[in-house]
Structure 1
C-alpha cells in the first residue's frame, strides 16, 4: 500500500540526498521521492514502513461481538423454549444487565476512539488489543512524544468518580477510587496490571508508561474532578487528550514502539 499524497506533498526527483522519514532509507539525489513541504522532509514512494504498518484495531469490537452473541443466544433460547410466545416475551422484556454492560462498554470505547482521533499525527493509537494468555483486553494504547498511554475507557452515565483518602496524620495514607459512592478498586488494579504488561512487552525500550481510567458521560464538578489514585490518572476524554499533547516530550521512537506493541498485543 502506498501512502496517499497530502495537500502539502509533492512527488519529485530530489535535488539533494535525503533520508526517508518513515523507514530511514538513504535517498540519493536524483531519485524520485515524496517531498513533504510542511515538515520539510522526504519519504520513499513505496515505503516498506507503510506496508508493514500494523492495523489499529476496531474500538469496542470485542465488546460489541460479545454483546451480540449474548443477545442472540437469549433470543434463540426464549424462542426455542416458548415457540408460540417467544416473540411477545422478547418484546416485553429487556436483556439482562450483564448483557447490556457489554453494549455500554462497546459504546464507551467507540466514543473514546473518536476523541483520540483528535490527537496530532505524531501519535499512533491501537484499539481493543488482546492480552495473550488471558481473556482480558486493553481498550486503547496511544504512543506519542509524551510516552505510552494505556487507556481504560469507562462509561458510567451520571455517576461521579471521586478520590477517597483515609488516614494521613497518625495512620498510613490510603487512597481509593469511588464511583457514585461505590468502590472502584478493581478498576484501578486492572489498569495497573495492563501498564505492567505493556512495560514488560517493551523491555529495555522503556519510555514512560501512564495508566489512565477515562470516564465518559460521567458526572463531574465544574472545577477540578481529575486526580491520580495509586499511580493511575482518572479524568475525562477532552482533558486526557490535552495532557497527552502537553506532557513533556521524551526520547522515543514512536513508530518502533507502536509496531512492537501491536505485535505483543494483537487485535482482539
Structure 2
C-alpha cells in the first residue's frame, strides 16, 4: 500500500511542513506512516520534478531524513507483525517509535519547515538547493542559499532549549568555545557546518564568500539579542536569517546563476 494518498480530509488538520490550517473536505496529502497531512503545495511527487524553466533539481527539503524515518518505522512495523501475526497491528498502533527513530522525524520536520519558508523567498538573486549529498560520504547539506553576497551553508536544527555560547579558559588556559543548547553540549554541530563549508569552498573557489549557518527552527530564543557567532559560524533563528539572504545587488544575477549551477552539478540531491 502506498505510504501517501492524495484525498479530501474528513477532519480539519494542519500541514506538518508549514503549519497551515487545513479545514475538513479540503484536498491534502495524507501520510500513513506518520499519520499526518501535508497541504498540496508540498506534494513531493510534483515538487521533485524539474521544470522547463529550471531544469536543475533543487532538491526536497528534509527528503533523505524523511526517507530514513519512514524506512525505520516500516521495518519496525514489519518486525512487530511478523512476531505477533494476530495482534501485530494493534500492538503497533498503541506503541511509540523508539527515540532513535523519532529523531529522524524531528530532524526532517525542521528541514522541511525551514526549506518551505526559504522557497517562498526564492528569486533571481536568491537561489536555493536542498538536501545535497556530499560525494564519497553518507553526509548531506541541509540547505544552500546562493546570493550576490556569497553562499550560505545552512544546517537546520529543531532542538528545544536556548542556544548560547559557553567560553572556557582565558589568560592561563587556551580559550575554548562551546555551543550549548540548554544544558546540552552541541559543539559538534559547529564542526559539521565547518566541514560542509569547506566542501562548498572546494566547488566555488576562493573568490566566492562562503558562510556557515546553524539555524535553530524552534529553540527558546530571547526576545532581544540571542544570535551569535562561534568559530566563524553564525548561530540564529529563521527570521534573523532571511534578511541576510535577501541582501545584494540585482546586477549580480548572472554570477549567482553560475555559482548555483556549479553547486547543483557538484552536489547532487541526497
TM, length-normalised to structure 2: 0.75
Matched, 1:234 2:230: no
Conserved 8 A contact 1:130-1:265: yes
Aligned to 2:131: 128
Instruction: List gaps (5 residues or longer) in structure 2.
Output: 1-51
Q: Secondary structure at the match of 2:151?
A: strand
Larger Rg computed on CA atoms: 1
What pairs with 1:31-42 in structure 2 (closer than 5 Å)? none
Conserved 8 A contact 1:144-1:254: yes
State the alpha-carbon separation in 2 of the partners of residues 83 and 160 from structure 1.
Answer: 45
Matched, 1:215 2:204: no
Pick one of 139, 142, 149 that aligns with 1:139.
Answer: 142
State the alpha-carbon separation in 1 of the partners of residues 192 and 94 from structure 2.
Answer: 36
Aligned to 2:73: 71
Aligned to 1:101: 103
Q: Secondary structure at the match of 1:214?
A: strand
TM, length-normalised to structure 1: 0.76
How much has 1:118 moved relative to structure 2?
4.2
How much has 1:245 moved relative to structure 2?
2.6
Aligned to 2:19: none
Aligned to 1:87: 89
Conserved 8 A contact 2:61-2:116: no
Aligned to 1:160: 162
Conserved 8 A contact 2:168-2:176: yes
Conserved 8 A contact 2:153-2:211: yes
Q: Aligned-residue CA RMSD in angstroms?
A: 2.0
Instruction: List gaps (5 residues or longer) in structure 1.
Output: 1-49
Aligned to 1:57: 59
State the alpha-carbon separation in 2 of the partners of residues 249 and 210 from structure 1.
Answer: 20
State the alpha-carbon separation in 2 of the partners of residues 155 and 192 from structure 1.
Answer: 19
How much has 1:186 moved relative to structure 2?
1.2
Aligned to 1:17: none
Q: 1:185 to 1:250 in 2, by over 3 A?
A: farther
Q: 1:247 to 1:176 in 2, by over 3 A?
A: farther
Higher mean C-alpha displacement, 134-143 vs 245-254? 245-254
